[in-house]
């Protein structure tokens, strides 16, 4: 039993670090679109091609990778993903040196290929590492670690890139401000790959003895994959446009707007920590609410920290977190019910962003992040529910393929922003969240005969 617990702890520790790494890289790329727009003097639509280059990778290689993982195993897949990420990170150095937007896009595609390897391997690994009943809690926990990184990345961009790229610099000089961060990312992921190579990870899964229908015949898997398409598209589209939305409608400086982007992504971190608590197998209410109180304190401190210790903003962020936690209680620890509540609220906030202005619109768009929080882990958990262990890698490949919603939805939002203004662009994520609401209440219950 002790050996089993040690293996479980080791597995969760390694996967937690993996989620942190690819969360940082993903959000770094998404937020960087605001800087790239200025460097290369692009329209919003063209700037969102950076996100397109990242997320279209999922469309091309997720299913092949899902099948390939069956042959090489989870550990080898994690190492391959990290090395690809490092290669992509190092490619940003010549891309920024040129500077060349096509090279930026190429480097992004290579880096994203590594992230796809990591995500396709990591999600089913977490789902299979323990009981099915607590899978939602585990998924929310590792996604919370992912979200710590997604909050840190925009803050780093705001502090070390936006502040360093003044209007007086040339395009080439602005481009070179991104070189060092990517070199650091590349070195770190190489070191993590070496550490994983030297570590013995617990094995999970394997082909099931029981013969079941093809994963393609499970409607709840396919509808869940479509839910991932709309969720990632809405989250990435919103995260990618917030910076320029705030610059345009709130007249903020990029370095200030970038800190609100960090709060947006930080909301997902807070919500996922709440989700990991409420969807876990913790039965002691005192312990559960003590953990929740610690998360609220984290919201206060993190919201203040990323805004140069503005405690008023940190307090507002904590109040939003209190509302998030109270509304999560409506889910009663059920993944589907919690997803339905949050999807409906996210749709409402997106519409408030579209049709209001000032502080109301500001906090509406920032708060969407907190209600995005449990969507990916809960959609994934519902989509792989009742599958055999041997079906997990294939199902994960299908689901991860639809992450390419992050390539399509931001382009649509960018085009609307160019033609009709940034506010109207937020009608698109509202529609996305309404589909997720449908999946939570109905689509996830469809099963093959």
Give the per-residue SS3 of 239-300.
HHHHHHHHHHHCCCCHHHHHHHHHHHHHHHHHHHHHHHHHCCCCCCHHHHHHHHHHHHHHHH
The pLDDT of residue 301 is above 90: yes
163 vs 446, more confident: 446
Structure tokens at 120: 């396709």
Q: State mean pLDDT over 366-373.
A: 93
Q: What is the pLDDT of residue 448?
A: 65
The C-alpha atoms of residue 328 and residue 353 are separated, in whole angstroms, by 22
Task: Provide CB contacts within 8 A for 15, sequence distance 6+.
Answer: 122, 125, 126, 129, 142
pLDDT tens readout for residues 134-156: 666 677 677 667 777 777 877 77
Helix/strand/coil percent split, the chain, to 5 = 85, 0, 15
Q: What is the pLDDT of residue 216?
A: 75
pLDDT tens readout for residues 415-435: 999 999 999 999 999 999 999
Question: Is residue 16 a contact partner of residue 144, using CB atoms and an 8 Å limit?
Answer: no
The pLDDT of residue 1 is above 50: no
- Vertex 299, ends 409 and 341: CA angle to 5°? 50
Structure tokens at 287: 């312990």
Per the structure, the count of domains in the chain is: 1
Among 85, 77, 110, smallest CA distance to 21 is for 85
The pLDDT of residue 294 is above 80: yes
Q: How many CA atoms lie within 13 A of 394 on its CB side?
A: 15
Q: What is the pLDDT of residue 33?
A: 82
pLDDT over 70 percentage in the chain: 86
What is the residue range of 84's domain?
2-445
Among 372, 400, 298, smallest CA distance to 77 is for 400
Domain CATH code at residue 399: 1.20.1250.20
Would you place residue 99 in the very low, low, confident or very high pLDDT band (cuts 50, 70, 90)? confident
Would you place residue 73 in the very low, low, confident or very high pLDDT band (cuts 50, 70, 90)? confident
Q: What is the pLDDT of residue 356?
A: 95
Longest dimension (CA), the chain: 66
Q: What is the pLDDT of residue 93?
A: 92
Among 267, 300, 449, 293, smallest CA distance to 374 is for 267
The pLDDT of residue 167 is above 90: no
Task: Provide CB contacts within 8 A for 343, sequence distance 6+.
Answer: 371, 375, 433, 434, 436, 437, 440
Q: Helix H segments across 356-404?
A: 358-372, 375-383, 392-401
Q: What is the pLDDT of residue 391?
A: 75
Cβ count within 10 A of residue 309: 10
The pLDDT of residue 162 is above 80: no
Would you place residue 5 in the very low, low, confident or very high pLDDT band (cuts 50, 70, 90)? low
The C-alpha atoms of residue 395 and residue 330 are separated, in whole angstroms, by 29
Bin 125: left if φ > 0, else alpha if -120 < ψ < 50, else beta.
alpha
Structure tokens at 104: 């930026």
The pLDDT of residue 176 is above 90: no
Q: What is the pLDDT of residue 304?
A: 94
Helices (H) and strands (E) in the chain, counts: 18, 0
pTM of the complete model: 0.80
Among 247, 243, 213, 259, smallest CA distance to 387 is for 213
């Amino acid at each position: 039993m002790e050996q089993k617990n040690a293996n479980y702890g080791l597995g969760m520790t390694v996967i937690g670090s993996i989620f942190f790494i690819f969360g940082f890289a993903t959000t770094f790329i998404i937020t960087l679109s605001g800087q790239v727009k200025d460097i290369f003097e692009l329209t919003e639509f063209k700037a969102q091609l950076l996100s397109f280059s990242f997320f279209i990778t999922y469309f091309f290689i997720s299913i092949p990778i899902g099948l390939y993982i069956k042959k090489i195993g989870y550990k080898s897949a994690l190492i391959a993903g990290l090395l690809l990420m490092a290669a992509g990170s190092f490619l940003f150095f010549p891309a920024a040196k040129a500077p060349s937007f096509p090279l930026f896009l190429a480097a992004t595609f290579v880096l994203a290929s590594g992230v796809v390897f990591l995500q396709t391997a990591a999600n089913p690994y977490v789902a299979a590492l323990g009981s099915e009943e607590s899978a939602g809690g585990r998924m929310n926990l590792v996604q919370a670690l992912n979200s710590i990184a997604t909050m840190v990345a925009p803050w780093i961009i705001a502090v070390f890139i936006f502040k360093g790229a003044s209007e007086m610099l040339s395009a080439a000089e602005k481009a070179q401000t991104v070189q060092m961060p990517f070199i650091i990312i590349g070195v770190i992921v190489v070191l993590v790959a070496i550490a994983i190579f030297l570590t013995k990870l617990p094995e999970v899964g394997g082909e099931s003895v029981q013969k079941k229908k093809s994963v393609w015949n499970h409607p709840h898997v396919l509808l869940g994959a479509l839910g991932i398409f709309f969720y990632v598209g809405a989250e990435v589209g919103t995260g990618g446009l917030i910076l320029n939305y705030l610059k345009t409608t709130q007249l903020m400086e990029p370095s200030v707007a970038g800190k609100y982007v960090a709060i947006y992504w930080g909301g997902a971190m807070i919500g996922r920590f709440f989700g990991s608590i409420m969807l876990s197998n913790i039965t002691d209410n005192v312990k559960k609410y003590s953990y929740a109180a610690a998360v609220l304190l984290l919201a206060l401190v993190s919201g203040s920290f990323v805004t140069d210790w503005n405690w008023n903003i940190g307090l507002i962020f904590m109040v939003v977190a209190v509302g998030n936690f109270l509304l999560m209680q409506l889910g009663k620890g059920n993944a589907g019910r919690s997803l339905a509540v949050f999807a409906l609220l996210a749709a409402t906030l997106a519409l408030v962003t579209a049709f209001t202005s000032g502080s109301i619109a500001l906090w509406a768009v920032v708060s969407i992040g907190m209600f995005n929080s449990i969507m990916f882990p809960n959609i994934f958990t519902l989509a792989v529910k009742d599958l055999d262990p041997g079906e997990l890698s294939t199902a994960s490949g299908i689901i991860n393929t639809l992450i390419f919603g992050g390539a399509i939805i931001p382009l649509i939002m960018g085009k609307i922003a160019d033609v009709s203004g940034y506010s109207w662009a937020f009608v698109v994520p509202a529609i996305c969240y309404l589909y997720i609401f449908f999946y939570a209440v109905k689509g996830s219950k469809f099963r093959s005969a």
